[in-house]
Amino acid sequence: MRTYIRIHGSRADEITGEVVREQPLTIYVNEEKFLTLLCSPLDLEALVVGYLWMEKVIGGLDDVRHVEVSPVDGRAEVTLAGPVTLPTERILTSGCGGGITFRIDHRLFPRLSSGLRVRPDALALRMKDLFAAAVHYKVSRGIHGAALTDGEQLLLVAEDVGRHNAVDKIKGAALLRGIPTEDRILLSTGRISSEMLLKAARMGVPLVASRTSPTEMAVALAEQLNVTVCGYVRSDSLNLYAGNGVVLREDVAAVASDARPT
C-alpha cells in the first residue's frame, strides 16, 4: 500500500491505496543465467514455465526436473532433465517495459487449422468475465489481464504489468494444470502486437481478442497463420481484423463481405 495525493479540481485528498507492483526476475536454466524479466510478483512459476515453453527451451513439463522461484531474491532456478543450448539472439519487443523474445520469425510457426467459431455476444461476455476476474486490476488499474476461454467460460486468468507476461503465465498455468490451449480463445486487455500474436499461434490458439487494438504487423501475421483477430471488443461491437472465427448474422456477414478489401 502507498499513500499519495489525489487532486480533483481545487481539492486535494490524501489516499492510501494499492500501486501495481513490479520487480525483476532473473531466470537460471541448469545453473546458467538466461535473462531477467520485469514482471508482477504473481504466479511466477507459471510465468517461468510458460516463458521457457514459448521460447522453445522446453517442449513440455517432462523436460523440467525442478523449478524454484524466490520472489524475495528475484531469482528462478530451473533444472531441466537434460542439457540445453539457450537462445542468444534477443529481440526487444513492443511489449510494456520492453519485452524480450528470441523467436519472432513466423516461419517457425505452423499455419493453424481450426473449426472454432464464436458469436460476437459470447466474446463480449467472456471479455466482461475477464475484467470481473482481474482482481489486481480492480485494485490498482495499472496491470494487464489475459484469459484462456472455450467460449463458454474462462479456463485460466492471469495478470501482470506486461501483457506478454500475462500470456506466458496463461501457458505456464495450462502446462502445470494439464489444460490444453489448442482450439481455445485468448483474451487480452492490452494491445495485440506481433509477439502476442505469435505466442497465440505457438499455443495453437486460433482466435485472439482484445479490449484495444492490434498492430498492423500482428494482423499481417494473423492472415499468414490463419488466426482470427478481434479488437475493441465491447458489449455491442467489435472490430474484426483478420480470420473467419467470428460467427456473424447473415445480413451482417453480407455487408462485411462487401466491405472487405479485394
Nearest by Cα to 47 from 169, 166, 143: 169
- Report the Cα 37 to chain-centroid distance in Å: 15
Among the candidates 104, 138, 155, a domain finishes at 104
- The model's pTM: 0.88
The span from the first CA to the last CA of the chain, in angstroms, equals 54
Which of 96, 201, 233, 242 is the catalytic position? Answer: 96
Angle, to 10 degrees, between the axis of helix 163-177 and the axis of helix 44-54? Answer: 90
Tell me how crowded residue 182 is: count the other CB atoms within 10 A of its CB: 11
Let me know whether 162 and 73 are in one domain.
no
Are the C-beta atoms of 100 and 52 separated by less than 8 Å?
no
| Cα distances (Å, whole numbers) of residue 124 to 4, 120, 147, 177, 211 | 35, 6, 13, 26, 9
Could you report the per-residue pLDDT of 187-241, keeping only the tens digit for each? 999 999 998 999 999 999 999 999 999 999 999 999 999 999 999 999 999 999 9
Let me know whether 170 and 205 are in one domain.
yes
Let me know whether 61 and 142 are in one domain.
no
Among the candidates 51, 79, 104, a domain finishes at 104
Residues 162 and 174: their CA atoms lie apart, in Å, by 19
**Average pLDDT for runs of 10 along the chain of length 262:** 80 82 93 92 96 94 96 92 84 48 63 95 97 86 92 97 94 98 97 93 96 94 96 95 88 65 59
Let me know whether 240 and 156 are in one domain.
yes
Q: Is residue 109 part of a domain?
A: no
- How confident is the model at residue 20, as a pLDDT? 82
Cell of 108: 517457425
For residue 39, indicate whether it is catalytic.
no
Let me know whether 66 and 195 are in one domain.
no
The type of residue at 163 is: R
Let me know whether 137 and 215 are in one domain.
yes
Domain count of the chain?
Answer: 2
Let me know whether 182 and 85 are in one domain.
no
Burial of 172: CB neighbours in 10 Å, binned 0-12, 13-18, 19+: buried
Q: Is residue 7 part of a domain?
A: no
Q: Is residue 55 part of a domain?
A: yes
Query: Which CATH number covers residue 78?
Result: 3.10.20.10
Let me know whether 81 and 142 are in one domain.
no
Q: Is residue 1 part of a domain?
A: no
Among the candidates 104, 139, 165, a domain finishes at 104
Let me know whether 176 and 54 are in one domain.
no
Pairing label, strands 100-101, 154-160: unpaired
Let me know whether 201 and 225 are in one domain.
yes
Q: Is residue 208 part of a domain?
A: yes
Cell of 60: 513440455
Its domain, for residue 207, covers 120-259
Q: Is residue 14 part of a domain?
A: no
- How confident is the model at residue 103, as a pLDDT? 55
Let me know whether 152 and 201 are in one domain.
yes
